[in-house]
Chain A
Amino acid sequence: MSAGCECSAVGELRTPSREEMLAALVVRQGAENVQKLQAATVAVCGLGGLGSNVAISLARAGVGKLILIDFDCVDVTNLHRQQYKATQVGLAKAVALPENLREISPYIELESHQVRITEENVMELVGKADVVVEAFDNAEAKAMLVNAVLENGKTLVAASGMAGFGDANSIQTRRVSKKFYMCGDGVSDVNDGVGLVAPRVMACAAHQALTIIRIICGLENMTTKTSVI
C-alpha cells in the first residue's frame, strides 16, 4: 500500500446506495439529463461486440431499463471484443450480460430474452422501448430488424461497417431520417476477411450509445442535420 492511499481492503467494501450513485451521475451529467435517462427504456438487439458495449455504456449513464435480447451463448472467440469474462464461456449472453451489468450498475432494471429475433416476434420484444439498438453481426439480420422496427415507427440506432483495422475516424454517426440513425463506416465487411478488432467495434458501439443518450436527453433535434432533403 502506498502512502496516503485511502482505498478500502477487499473485506471492507460497500456498494454505494442507489441515491449515492444517482447523486454522482448528477454531478457528471446534470439533474435534468439523469432524470430523462432514468425514465428511459432501451432495447438492445444482439449482445455481441456492439450490444454488450452499448449496454454497459447505457447502464453507466443511468438509463433506467434495458431490454436485452440474444439467442447465442458466450464463445471463446467473443472474448477479445465483447464484454464477457473467460469464466462465462458457454453461458447464454442473455444471462451473462445481466450478471456483468449488475456488478457495474446494481439498480438498473433489466429484462432479458434468450431468443432469436424475427419479423414476427420483434415488436413484442422491443415494443415498450423508447429507442431500439440494432447490434447484430449478420447483414441480412441487420436489414430485417431495421425494416421491421422502422415500419413500426420506432426510433432506431443501427450500425454497419466496423470490421477491420482501419482508423477509428472513419466511423461516424449519420442521421438518415428523423427516427433512423446509422453508425459505422458503412463499408468494412467482416466477410471480406479484414478481421475484427475490439477498439474499432467499441468505437462504433460508443457512437451508438452516445447517440441514444443524446436522443433521450433531447439533444438531437437541435444540432443534427438530417441527410434527407
Chain B
Amino acid sequence: MIKVNGIDIEADGTVFAGKTVAEYLSTTNYDCKRIAIEKNGEIVPKAKYGETLLAEGDSLEVVSFVGGG
C-alpha cells in the first residue's frame, strides 16, 4: 500500500511501487509549481521528483497552495 494524504493510491489496482514521484504526479491534477511533497515525513526536493522512487509502505503528503495572504 502507498498512501497519499492518507488515501491508498493503489486501491484500484494501479501499481505505483517502483515508479517515481514525478510519474505519480503526472497521473494527478496537481500543479507542480504550487505544491510541496513530503515522503515519510521528509521533504522531497523539487529537483528530485524525477528520481525519487515510491516503495511499498510509503506515505506521501502532497501539500497544495492557494492564493491569498
Whether B68 and A189, one on each chain, are in contact in the complex, defined by CB atoms closer than 8 angstroms, is yes
Whether A182 and B63, one on each chain, are in contact in the complex, defined by CB atoms closer than 8 angstroms, is yes
Complex interface: chain B residues within 8 A of A182 (CB): 63
Total residues of chain B contacting the partner, CB 8 A = 21
Complex interface: chain A residues within 8 A of B46 (CB): 147, 151
B68 smallest CB distance to A (angstroms): 4
Complex interface: chain B residues within 8 A of A201 (CB): 68-69
Q: Please judge, given known A-B contacts A189-B66, A196-B68, whether A139 and B41 are in contact too, CB under 8 Å.
A: no
Q: How far is the CA of A146 from the CA of B65 in the complex (A)?
A: 10
B: residues with CB less than 8 A from A are 6, 33-36, 38, 40-43, 45-46, 59, 61, 63-69
Whether B68 and A147, one on each chain, are in contact in the complex, defined by CB atoms closer than 8 angstroms, is no
Whether A177 and B38, one on each chain, are in contact in the complex, defined by CB atoms closer than 8 angstroms, is yes
Q: Please judge, given known A-B contacts A227-B6, A229-B41, A229-B59, whether A188 and B33 are in contact too, CB under 8 Å.
A: no
Q: Please judge, given known A-B contacts A147-B43, A147-B46, A150-B43, whether A188 and B38 are in contact too, CB under 8 Å.
A: no
Contact of B61 among A140, A159, A190, A228 (CB under 8 A): A228
- Tell which of A15-23, A83-91, A160-168 binds the partner: A160-168
Q: Say yes or no: is A226 at the interface (Cβ < 8 Å to chain B).
A: yes
Q: How far is the CA of A150 from the CA of B34 in the complex (A)?
A: 15
Cβ contacts A to B, 19 pairs, < 8 Å: A49-B68, A135-B69, A139-B67, A143-B33, A147-B43, A150-B43, A159-B69, A178-B41, A180-B36, A186-B64, A186-B66, A190-B67, A191-B66, A201-B68, A226-B41, A227-B61, A229-B40, A229-B41, A229-B59
Complex interface: chain B residues within 8 A of A29 (CB): none
Q: Which of A182-203 contact B (CB under 8 A)?
A: 182, 186-191, 196, 201
Whether A143 and B68, one on each chain, are in contact in the complex, defined by CB atoms closer than 8 angstroms, is no
Q: Return the chain B residue nearest A162 by Cβ.
A: B68
Q: Please judge, given known A-B contacts A160-B64, A227-B6, A228-B41, whether A146 and B36 are in contact too, CB under 8 Å.
A: yes
Query: Looking at B45, B59, B64, B66, which has the most chain A CB atoms within 10 Å of its CB?
Result: B66
Q: How far is the CA of A180 from the CA of B62 in the complex (A)?
A: 12
Whether B69 and A162, one on each chain, are in contact in the complex, defined by CB atoms closer than 8 angstroms, is yes
